[in-house]
Amino acid sequence: MRIDHLIAGKPVAGREYFETVNPATQEVLAEVAAGGEAEVNQAVAAAKEAFPKWSSLAAPERAKLVRKLGELIAQNVPELAQTETDDTGQVIAQTGRQLVPRAADNFSYFAEMCVRVDGHTYPTPTHLNYTLFHPVGVCALISPWNVPFMTATWKVAPCLAFGNTAVLKMSELSPMTAARLGALALEAGIPPGVLNIVHGFGKQAGEPLVRHPDVRAISFTGSTATGNRIVREAGLKKFSMELGGKSPFVIFEDADFERALDAAVFMIFSNNGERCTAGSRILVQKSIYAKFAERFAARAKKIAVGDPLDEKTIIGPMISQGHLAKVRGYIEAGTKEGATLLCGGLDVPPLPGRVEKGNYVVPTVFADVDNRMRIAQDEIFGPVACLIPFDGEEDAIRIANDIPYGLSSYVFTENVGRAHRVAAAIEAGMCFVNSQNVRDLRQPFGGTKASGTGREGGTWSYEVFLEPKNIAVSL
Ligand code: NAD
């Protein structure tokens, strides 16, 4: 199979191709066009040309086409989910039941929302001020490899619905479902040039895209290191930067123990642990720490690791051999730093037939972790949990905030006042109280500190995809 760029509604061959590989089997899934500055220039020109007509379509007309794209995704869930699972190793139970259906929801949600964009009025005795929201123009949308289809559609849906045109660049490690998205967009009747896709590597394809002077806004999801590089390279543009995380999951002694345990297991081991909002630093009050550590490790040992196409599998392979080596490196570092390995580690039991060569790591739990250790400070982005004991509320807040990141956070306590105090004190863009991460499309999604700037979701997506203009009329 060959995957080409999509520019102005047409497949455009690459001057070079690279392989995308199934991380469970090492089988080559497709040859993918490797774009560079020439293809980026072509795609941005196509998006620029399509912009005047698309942005001046009445919102209900745009909404119809955007909604249709969501319906086509919903009709193709099994195929898209399998493609995503093959390309990324994310397990089919997640891609089929959650991630691809949510991608469809992104389009229906923003189709409905774009017809409701309204303004504000600020009347004074001498002037009537009112605001208009204009689409910004050509947007660069850049996606990482974890949950790539959901993330890409989370950007494409508001971008297009609000009247912008786009150049989408997927991660070189997970380009397959985006290729289908391009085809489905055309099938839905979205005009050529409104959604363009350039495949390829960060340096060769991503950098010319973010630098391009006709790109007005950048919605980026990826690592903090790349986010920093993009901000330096891009110059003055609108940014939404959804970056890395190392989120604290704080459990007080008065928490509903079983509920906290379930949520803690889910927040570090679902999505293979390759999750930006993972609760990867589990802070447990000392009085319940030993009991929690024992029960948590017992649960981790029972997690099904295996073929991501098997509905029962919870943990599939890591995205690439490079990433597997990184995760294993942290497991080694944790042991060297003196943390106690409760389960998992570097030994992986033999896996059956089809997936025997997969990039596997087993659920790993480190106890007695000091928050200053590398395994506690760095984003591992795999199924590796760090259990950190704490004394009381003040200590919990201090440890939670002693980190460069600030994406998500979790607090478990039955004390209402404490729940609100700690939720307010943690430096993060999001805090879930007595809950795992549950997403509502209206919420502001995003982080603070090294986890990024800007928020997306609901009207928060205006920040990147719409430009407010104030008009003052003298009375
Ligand atoms: P990455 O930063 O390596 O790559 C992300 C994307 O940026 C890829 O498409 C890549 O090709 C591109 N890129 C790389 N260099 C570039 C450059 N110089 N200019 C332009 N584009 C460039 O990240 P990754 O390894 O693909 O993804 C994992 C990271 O993403 C983790 O840190 C994770 O926390 C983060 N993430 C954040 C969120 C969030 O919402 N905050 C969600 C998912 C993933």
Mean pLDDT, residues 55-64 taken together: 98
Q: Give residue 75's Cα distance to chain centre.
A: 23
Distance CA 404, CA 245 (A): 9
Going by alpha carbons, the residue nearest to atom 13 of ligand 1 is: 202
Nearest 5°: CA angle at 293, between 290 and 295?
110
Residue 195: predicted pLDDT: 98
Per-residue pLDDT tens over the stretch 77-127: 999 999 999 999 999 999 999 999 999 999 999 999 999 999 999 999 999
Per-residue pLDDT tens over the stretch 220-242: 999 999 999 999 999 999 999 99
Q: Has residue 197 got a pLDDT over 90?
A: yes
Per-residue pLDDT tens over the stretch 377-416: 999 999 999 999 999 999 999 999 999 999 999 999 999 9
Residue 23: predicted pLDDT: 98
Q: How many angstroms separate the alpha carbon of residue 242 from the centre of ligand 1? A: 9
Residue 352: predicted pLDDT: 85
Q: Which of 171, 207, 379 to mutate to test the pocket of ligand 1 (most atoms within 8 A of CB)?
A: 171
Catalytic residue among 39, 172, 207, 242: 242
Q: Has residue 176 got a pLDDT over 90?
A: yes
* Residue 172: strand, helix, or coil: coil
Tokens 């919990």, residue located: 396
Burial of 353 (0-12, 13-18, 19+ CB in 10 A): exposed
Alpha-carbon Rg for the chain, nearest whole angstrom, is 23
Distances (CA, A) of 223 to 95, 126, 228, 329, 379: 22, 49, 9, 18, 9
Percentage of the chain beyond pLDDT 90 is 99
Pick the atom of ligand 1 nearest to 226's CA.
2
Q: Has residue 308 got a pLDDT over 90?
A: yes
Residue 265: predicted pLDDT: 98
Q: How many angstroms separate the alpha carbon of residue 221 from the centre of ligand 1? A: 5
Here the ipTM equals: 0.97
CB 45 within 8 A of CB 210: no
State the average pLDDT for the chain: 97
Mean pLDDT, residues 275-302 taken together: 98
Reported confidence tier of residue 59, pLDDT bands at 50, 70, 90? very high
Q: What are phi and psi of 2, to 5 degrees?
A: -125, 135
Among candidate residues 22, 71, 161, the one with its CA nearest the CA of residue 465: 161
Q: How many angstroms separate the alpha carbon of residue 25 from the centre of ligand 1? A: 24
Q: How many angstroms separate the alpha carbon of residue 224 from the centre of ligand 1? A: 8
Distance CA 326, CA 302 (A): 24
Answer positive or negative: Cα dihedral of 266, 268, 274, 278.
Answer: positive
Per-residue pLDDT tens over the stretch 15-29: 999 999 999 999 999
Pocket of ligand 1 (CB under 6 A): 142-146, 151, 169, 171-172, 201-203, 206-207, 210, 221-223, 226, 229-230, 242-245, 276, 379, 381, 407, 447, 452
Mean pLDDT, residues 203-208 taken together: 98
Mean pLDDT, residues 132-153 taken together: 97
Residue 60: predicted pLDDT: 98
Token reading at 122: 């600020």
Residue 74: predicted pLDDT: 98
Per-residue pLDDT tens over the stretch 234-271: 999 999 999 999 999 999 999 999 999 999 999 999 99
* Distinct helix (H) and strand (E) counts, the chain: 16, 23
Residue 353: predicted pLDDT: 87
Pick the atom of ligand 1 nearest to 170's CA.
9
Type of residue at 417: G
Residue 242 is among the residues annotated as catalytic for this protein:
yes
Distance CA 388, CA 248 (A): 10
Among candidate residues 110, 395, 379, the one with its CA nearest the CA of residue 223: 379
Indicate the pTM of the whole model: 0.97
Percentage of the chain beyond pLDDT 70 is 100
The upper half-sphere exposure of residue 322, i.e. CA atoms within 13 Å in the direction of its Cβ, equals 2
